Amino acid sequence: MGMGKEHAALFIKEGAIVYIADIDDISGKETAASLGDNAQFVHLDVTKEDQWQKAIEQITKEQGVINILVNSAGINVFKSLENTTQEEFMRTIEINQLSVFLGIKNSVALIEKSHSASIINISSIEGFEGSVGGYGYVSSKFAVRGLTKCAALEFADKHIRVNSVHPGDVITPMVTQATGEQKAAIEQFQQTIPMKRMADPKEISNLVLFLVSDDSSYSTGREFIADGGILA
């Protein structure tokens, strides 16, 4: 859902065959069906290596290669340090950080069969700065930057580029469906963004598309920010 769905829709528009993966089989299958014949759904808990292996086995049988991997699974929990449980912290780390490690590790053999491959890891502008209560989220988003750089160095000579994308605040269903005080708070918050608005998900997808295309053929191991000027 959200940005992941937008990435998939744009890639399909550009002619790609896309495998979308999630733990929610019902919504996943509905999303794949809505995107047309070039979208397929695979069940995947991104924190489980055996499920990554099973998904990759399916793609190997059906396609024989992966040209693009986009690691976009993520959750957030914002609480004070005292109120953040170890379980909440580790769950955030597993979904936001471990999933990226497992995704690259289990996909790279198939990615190496591509003549020009690209891996995109979705981080956040909170991979650059702290945030009140964001202990697990901020830690994981900083870590994605490091994972990206390590993989970029290891696979640079194999024609595999690895970059991270760092969105700021993006319009999501939660934002568009907000009412009352919540809507007022969101509108007030937007005024703190230099561009005075949140990003449309398509604006992030266009950046991801650029980074997986040959137009960015000399970019690897780098962070690409789309935040409306917040970090400036």
Q: Which region holds residue 214: left if phi is over 0, alpha if psi is between -120 and 50, else beta? A: alpha
Paired strand residues for 170: 199
In the residue annotation, 137 being an active-site residue is answered as: yes
- If one counts every other C-beta atom within 10 angstroms of the C-beta of residue 112, the result is 14
Angle, to 10 degrees, between the axis of helix 135-155 and the axis of helix 86-93?
30
Contact 169, 198 (CB under 8 A): yes
Q: DSSP characters for 44-71?
A: --TT-HHHHHHHHHHHHHHTS--SEEEE
Active-site residue (options: 19, 135, 137, 218): 137
Q: Reduced to 3 states, what is the DSSP secondary structure of residue 119? A: strand
Nearest to 35 by CA among 66, 7, 74, 67: 7
> What are residue 70's phi and psi, to 5 degrees?
-115, 110
Cite the active site residues: 137
